[in-house]
Amino acid sequence: MKFDNYMILEFPSRSTNEAFARSAVACFAAQMDPTLEELGDIRTAVSEAVTNCIVHAYPNEIGNITLRCRILKDNVLDIVIKDKGVGITDVEQARRPSFTTGGAERSGMGFTIMESFMTNFEVSSASGKGTTVHMRRKLQRRK
């Protein structure tokens, strides 16, 4: 697929890097002149995806998270967040609202939030091999 611009980041699954990832994507998306609402939605979706990697993919160790953003035709922001952690045994179950493996302090709403804020949302995973979250957001043209 043809794209106008891209960035790729790789960082350790430390909780401090969640804000870094969220801000990096927001700065990259800024060139598309998003509304404040669009930017907030994108930041929230990225935050949820990266937090899932930190909490669920690498529960007992620090691993790597890869984040790729591309600007596609028709003003679409394409975001892929990937880990090589423990994976998800049952993706359908994990996507159900309120389902969590993270304990009582987790709401289980991460995938639901990501899906509601993005135009397209996909999750693929293999147990023991990691998870990939692929999100797209079509932004309004303001120019």
Answer yes or no: are the C-beta atoms of 133 and 122 closer than 8 Å.
Answer: yes
96 is catalytic: no
pLDDT given for residue 114 in this prediction:
81
Domain residue spans in the chain? Answer: 3-138
What are the backbone angles phi and psi of residue 71, rounded to the nearest 5°?
-100, 115
Q: Which of 121, 141, 95 is nearest to 41 (CA)?
A: 121
What are the backbone angles phi and psi of residue 55, rounded to the nearest 5°?
-80, -45
Tell me how far CA of residue 23 lies from CA of 16, 17, 50, 61, 124, in angstroms: 12, 10, 12, 24, 25
Active-site choice (64, 75, 95, 106)? 106
Cα–Cα dist 113/96, whole Å: 11
Per-residue pLDDT of the chain (143 residues; tens, 9 = 90+): 687 899 999 999 999 999 999 999 999 999 999 999 999 999 999 999 999 899 889 989 999 999 999 999 999 999 999 999 999 876 576 656 555 555 556 555 667 788 889 999 999 999 999 999 999 999 987 75
Phi-psi region of 19 (alpha: psi -120 to 50; beta: other; left: phi over 0): alpha
Answer yes or no: are the C-beta atoms of 125 and 114 closer than 8 Å.
Answer: no
Active-site choice (17, 22, 38, 48)? 48
CATH number for 3-138 (one of 3.40.50.10310, 3.90.1150.10, 3.30.565.10, 3.20.20.70): it is: 3.30.565.10
pLDDT given for residue 98 in this prediction:
55
Q: Which of 41, 46, 42, 78 is nearest to 65 (CA)?
A: 46
106 is catalytic: yes
Active-site choice (18, 22, 52, 115)? 52
61 is catalytic: no
